[in-house]
Structure 1
């Protein structure tokens, strides 16, 4: 879980809020207690589809 958390933290630092993905993530993360929790779910979902 630590690796996944670090991956999510890194993704949050690097993602472009003005991109389509960034705009979508802003909307997606609004229903989560924190952006980190939303990023964890998002990263997990992306990994599951690989």
Structure 2
């Protein structure tokens, strides 16, 4: 008799924040000219994460 699959833990609500911060750790490996685009992308990701708090 087979058992139904057991779901894993729910995704961490901090995962998007952790991912955004991890993208900042890659700055040392990018040309300085690429930094503004990375900052903008991280800012957008953090803004989205903060907006999601209102939907919780």
TM-score using structure 1 length: 0.39
Structure showing the higher helix proportion among its residues: 1
Q: Which has the larger radius of gyration?
A: 2
